[in-house]
Amino acid sequence: MRKSKVLAKLRAGRVARICALGSPITMYPTLAAHFHYDGVWVDGEHRTWDPREVQATIANHHAADIDCLWRPSTKEKNGLYRLLEEGASGLMIPHVATAADARAFVQAIKFPPLGDRGLCGGGRDASFWVGAPKDYTTQANRETFLTVQIETPEALANVEAIAAVPGVDVLFLGPGDLSLRLGCSAAVTDPQMLDVQKKIAAACRQHGKAWGRPVGGPDDARTIIELGARLVVLGSEFGALHQHLMQCESQFDALLNEVAGAPVSAAAPAAPAAAKTY
């Protein structure tokens, strides 16, 4: 049974470093591990994944020895614990609004006596039953984690009760959805969002749970860490591609404007005006 690096950090009171992924990029878990991330948050809620891509992506996390925190497209019990059988270290469940919701997900993904997860033992998490530990179910409960997302005013009103549910490990603020419903900015420093973060932090402190959210840079990360956040998402392939292509666009613009304004060399005839495009 692989040990969770995220849980090791959280149990030590340290910050778990997480980056995000929404596409099946083979190299991503290895790169994330190289740059000292503890886990990758993989989005299956808003992105499309073929089942074999799911298997391969989680397997790549195991090969890189980095946690895979999967946000699934389903809340169906069998579909959830199958992701753990494939080897996901944790699941992030969107739109958890009540303590009853949270208890249902604990039941779905934790083995008895804590929950009611179905037993197979033939998955990657049990090393396909080759040398599986005798206390496999106990280790699985200990080394996998449940993250529930606080994304609605109802969830915020119930945040203390949700944090109190045994088997819930992390409360994760969904700033996009919650800000949409509260009518404020998703920014870490928005006054209303600051109040939200303080409320979640207080509930987690009271019940010994971790909390976190995605951030856009080190200043935002510092703000939430000072509020007690321990699961911090900073970095994604989506943001990296946007940033890189935006830089390349600027470089292209500067280069092509320079070329367009340069005198034509006598050694090469000028192209016809109609054919000259940049």
Which CATH number characterizes residue 108's domain?
A: 3.20.20.60
Residue 270 lies in a domain: no
Phi-psi region of 127 (alpha: psi -120 to 50; beta: other; left: phi over 0): left
Q: What is the pLDDT of residue 263?
A: 66
Of 46, 61, 95, 207, which one is the catalytic site residue? Answer: 46
**What's the maximum distance between 2 C-alpha atoms anywhere in the chain?**
84
Domain residues for 44? 5-262
Q: Percent of the chain having pLDDT more than 70? A: 94
Percent above pLDDT 90 for the chain: 90
> Over 50: is that where the pLDDT of 161 sits?
yes
Residue 74 in any domain: the answer is yes
Instruction: Flag whether pLDDT at 9 surpasses 60.
Output: yes
pLDDT tens column, 28-55: 999 999 999 999 999 999 999 999 999 9
Distance in angstroms (rounded) separating the CA atoms of residues 223 and 134: 44
- Verify cis geometry, omega within 30 degrees of 0, for the bond prior to 153: no
Q: Is 58 inside any structural domain? A: yes
268 in any annotated domain:
no
In a domain, 216, yes or no: yes
Told to judge if 46 belongs to the known catalytic residues of this protein, a careful annotator would answer yes
pLDDT digits (tens, 9 = 90+) for 56-106: 999 999 999 999 999 999 999 999 999 999 999 999 999 999 999 999 999
- 248 in any annotated domain: yes
CA distance 276 to 242: 28
The average confidence (pLDDT) of the chain is 94
The answer on pLDDT for 209 being more than 70 is yes
What is the DSSP code (8-state) at residue 275? Answer: G
Residue 253, in any domain of the structure: yes
- Rounded Cα distance between 91 and 87, Å, is 11
Checking if the pLDDT of 262 tops 90, the result is no
Of the candidates 173, 164, 122, 115, the one whose C-alpha atom is nearest the C-alpha of residue 144 is: 115
pLDDT per position as a tens digit, 229-240? 999 999 999 999
pLDDT value of position 274: 39
The yes-or-no verdict on residue 275 having pLDDT over 80 is no
The helix/strand/coil state of 129 is helix
Looking at the 3D structure of the chain, how many domains does it have? 1
